[in-house]
Structure 1
């Protein structure tokens, strides 16, 4: 089932918004003109990544400073797993997720 999140026309560089989908928080952001969908939860201790900083393709968790390389989601700290990336789905003029 397609769950629409945002109109494509609204997606521009620097876009960042969270959505509730199927009982979990999802972060939609645009980096290098590419939309990325990420579970809004740091795999280290569950802090919301939407509150983190994004600089030069590195998403840094606000709580403990764990860093992730985007767009792939790999953790830059060996003790932490990578991000849970979701595959964007498209329908008409909208981006969303299939659940």
Structure 2
């Protein structure tokens, strides 16, 4: 798919939290960082663990499996791995959050 898909409403993901969605065969996480939405695959680039079970503090996400840490905004890692998050493009229209998958 190369189109944007509506996944949720802005009201469904509180600031400082994240939520997992499935689109086809892809598992996607959307995080709300200060009212800005960021999406990425729910798969740690380090060892493929689920990131949706990770710890989100500010814009930093820690994978609970092996402690890999990522900046949600840039996707850059800052520990165990040098592989970045697989970020996805997000757009908000009105109250709806869309992700390009």
Quick check: TM above 0.5?
A: yes
1:61 corresponding residue in structure 2:
63
Distance 1:6 1:95 in 2: 5
Report the aligned-residue RMSD.
1.9
SS in 2 for 1:51: coil
Distance 1:35 1:93 in 2: 12
What count of residue pairs does the alignment treat as equivalent? 99
Contact 2:16–2:56, Cα closer than 8 Å, also in 1: no
Q: Give the TM-score normalised by the residue count of structure 2.
A: 0.84
1:15 corresponding residue in structure 2:
17
Q: Give the TM-score normalised by the residue count of structure 1.
A: 0.85
2:29 corresponding residue in structure 1:
27
SS in 1 for 2:83: coil
1:81 corresponding residue in structure 2:
83
SS in 1 for 2:7: strand
Structure 2: runs of 5 or more not aligned:
none
